[in-house]
Amino acid sequence: MDNLNIYRNAGTYKIFKKGEVVFTQWEEGEEMYVVLKGEFTAQIKTPGNDATKTVVYKPGDYFGELSLLDHRPRSATIVCSEGGTAVGVNRENFPKLLECAPSLSARLFNALHERCTALEKVAKGVMRGKEYELIELSPRSEYGTKPQNPYLDMIHMGLLAERIRGTTDFLGGHETDALARLKIRDSVPLFPKAHGSYDGTLKLAHMTDTSPLLSFIKTKCPLCKVEFEEPFLMQSKVRRTSVDPDMRARYAEIEPMHYAVITCPNCLFSADGKRFAEARPKYADEIFRMLDVYKPLAVKSGKERDSFTVFAGYYLSLLCASIVYDKHEFINAETWLRLSRLYDDCGDKAMLTYAQEQAYEGYNYIYSKIRLDEKQTQQITFTLAELCFKLGKTDAAGRLFFELKQEKMIALPAAMLIAVENRIEAIREMKAAARGGT
Which of 68-72, 93-97, 118-122, 411-415 has the lowest average pLDDT?
A: 118-122
Q: Give me the pLDDT at residue 114, please.
A: 59
Question: Could you tell me the pLDDT band of residue 33, with boundaries at 50, 70 and 90?
Answer: very high
Q: Which sequence spans correspond to the domains of the chain?
A: 4-187, 196-343, 371-438
pLDDT value, residue 270: 95
pLDDT computed for residue 210 by the predictor: 56
- Is residue 138 over pLDDT 80? no
Question: Quick check: 120 pLDDT over 70?
Answer: no
Confidence of residue 396 (pLDDT cuts 50, 70, 90): very high
pLDDT at res. 102: 65
Q: Which of 9-13, 224-228, 234-238, 278-282 has the highest mean pLDDT?
A: 224-228
pLDDT, position 82: 87
Residue 98 is predicted with a pLDDT of: 75
With contact defined as beta carbons under 8 Å apart, do 384 and 365 qualify? Answer: no
Residue-wise pLDDT tens digits, 72-82: 678 788 999 98
Average model confidence (pLDDT) across the chain: 78
pLDDT at residue 221 tops 90: yes
Percentage of the chain modeled with pLDDT above 90: 36
- 360 against 169, higher pLDDT: 360
pLDDT score of 85:
94
Band of residue 168 on the pLDDT scale cut at 50, 70, 90: very low
Q: Could you report the per-residue pLDDT of 291-321, keeping only the tens digit for each?
A: 888 888 778 888 888 889 999 999 999 989 8
Above pLDDT 70, what percent of the chain? 75
Q: How confident is the model at residue 213 (pLDDT cuts 50, 70, 90)?
A: confident
Residue 118 has pLDDT above 70, yes or no: no
pLDDT, tens digit (0-9, with 9 covering 90-100), for 358-395: 999 899 989 988 888 888 999 999 999 999 999 999 99
The CATH architecture assigned to 4-187 reads: Sandwich (2.60)
Amino acid 209: pLDDT: 53
Q: 0.75 cut: is pTM over it?
A: no
Q: What is the pLDDT of residue 436?
A: 74
